[in-house]
Chains A and B, each alone.
Chain A
């Protein structure tokens, strides 16, 4: 398809540079990156940029529509919605990033072990991953969070455990592929022990697909955290989180629709942004997937 568009390489360009260039050509992915940076800054700078204390209730400002003083209105306790959305970014971004990092920390060692060891170790790890993947993501996360008890840390742990098998599978497949290559053979022939082969040689070579998967997993984790908080299993009130804000907004749909709109827009934008960046990274990093 792009055979006639192949550039005539004058000076060889490093794969990393080519990936970065190809990523930035992807306008939507760059837009996604900007949105993520925006919300990351909002989360970090919330205490300084939020116009009000997110927990401060006010009897004179109960369920006021958006105005000059309160850009996004106030909620049923007179709290400023903009401040709560800004502080809510903390729970969502933290849960998304931390739970996916934890999922990788759980999933990668098992996946690499399965892919490199083979035999019964591989079948056992593979079966456990299969078993967990046979329960739909959100149902497993809800069950785990329910048994662990309602708290943001427990929700994050539940999401991490639920997301781990995807990384087990991915790392296993990639490790098996890598094991069969000549450079892995050479590394083994040079006397590298299996763990060194895994960590020093295989892991860096499979980072690209893992990064793509991780970005998409963050999008899923943020939705999951919002869902768990919506059900009261995540961030506990009065601490703000987008999911729990939506839950209480549901009771005031007729009187105060703005309460339901803004936290949802925030979740949607962040999830969309991570999905866009994930798609862009996949196109940029994976030479096998054709640019769409």
Chain B
């Protein structure tokens, strides 16, 4: 296990190193001089420009700038927001809990819909239930989630008046109100993931149900529900768990638009505001943070899969 872990780290570290170069390189795509953008009204003053350039090390060669930047990043210093005048790392940490609440609720919704639908679909293969489930799954995957969000607001907030169209109440302030403000965005976020989960669960279940051990179990007279739930599902879940981590990344990306529509002050809103305000260090920080979250999650998932599947442990 330790050897495997070290090998895995050996893959992750170079990947992250390359990623850091790419994220740093984003700045070079910018049209125009960052000092001019930052100076704003004072852009005519060469002294101000020189001061900004010196402060941001824009007057130094690129490798020096990178070394300085990555040195700070490794110490957890993601830079300073140009507009909000706060450390980027602090901004991200402040917003993450909101997005995590949303993402976890979305994942719960996605699993609650996707996995049972996939199992039923596989058991009732090619029947009307299977067709309907496949159709709904494909619709969920093809639905742009920002549009689904707008449609849900139209139905539940504008027409029926059941749920607030926007805003956010933290979980520790008023749990019920918090649930009311996050249930629609969480459903929007989860719907696409539910479709993907359904399709993968179905495929994995079909494979598992065709295995010899399932036939053996049936031949022994094990009741069908037990064959499906225990023998087949247990094995089918492994690829589904791996998928969970990848889909969590998709949730973080989906949160960008969903939070924008429901005006939820999370991580996604932070990026969008940063994009509008041309607050580039925040954009860079967010990209870096999502990559770190994604990489740690896939490492965690691999460990989880090892725990579920003992056959992999010796490998």
Contacts and interface: CB of A to CB of B under 8 A. Distances in A.
Q: Are chains A and B native binding partners rather than an unrelated pairing?
A: yes
Interface of A: 1, 127-128, 130-132, 134-140, 142-144, 146-149, 219, 223, 226-227, 230-233, 246, 249-250, 253-254, 257, 260-261, 263-264, 267-268, 271-272, 275-276, 279, 292
Contacts of A130: 11, 15, 18
Given A1-B210, A135-B294, A142-B256, 19 more contacts: A127-B15, A128-B18, A131-B19, A132-B19, A134-B16, A134-B294, A136-B290, A139-B253, A143-B271, A143-B284, A143-B287, A227-B146, A231-B275, A260-B150, A260-B151, A263-B147, A268-B139, A275-B142, A279-B138
B142 A272 contact: yes
Contacts of B274: 146
Given A254-B158, A260-B154, A275-B142, A144 B26 contact: yes
Interface in B239-279: 249-250, 252-254, 256-257, 260-261, 271-272, 274-276, 278
B31 interface: yes
B22 interface: yes
A135 B290 contact: yes
A127 B15 CA distance: 5
Given A131-B22, A275-B138, A136 B253 contact: yes
Nearest to A148: B29
Interface of B: 11, 14-16, 18-19, 22, 26-27, 29-31, 138-139, 141-144, 146-147, 150-151, 153-154, 158, 165, 203, 210, 249-250, 252-254, 256-257, 260-261, 271-272, 274-276, 278, 280, 283-284, 286-287, 290-291, 294-295
Contact of B154 (A223, A257, A267): A257
A142 B249 CA distance: 15
A111 to B, nearest CB: 17
Shortest beta-carbon contacts, A-B, top 9: A136-B253, A264-B147, A131-B19, A138-B253, A272-B142, A146-B275, A131-B18, A147-B29, A136-B249
B144 A267 contact: yes
A149 B254 CA distance: 21
Nearest to A130: B15
Contacts of B257: 138, 227, 230-231
B291 A135 contact: yes
A223 B146 CA distance: 10
Contact of A223 (B22, B144, B210, B249): B144
A231 B30 contact: no
A257 B271 contact: no
Contacts of B27: 147
Most chain-B CB neighbours within 10 Å: which of A136, A142, A264, A279? A136
Contacts of B22: 128, 131-132
B145 to A, nearest CB: 9
B150 A227 contact: no
A149 B37 CA distance: 13
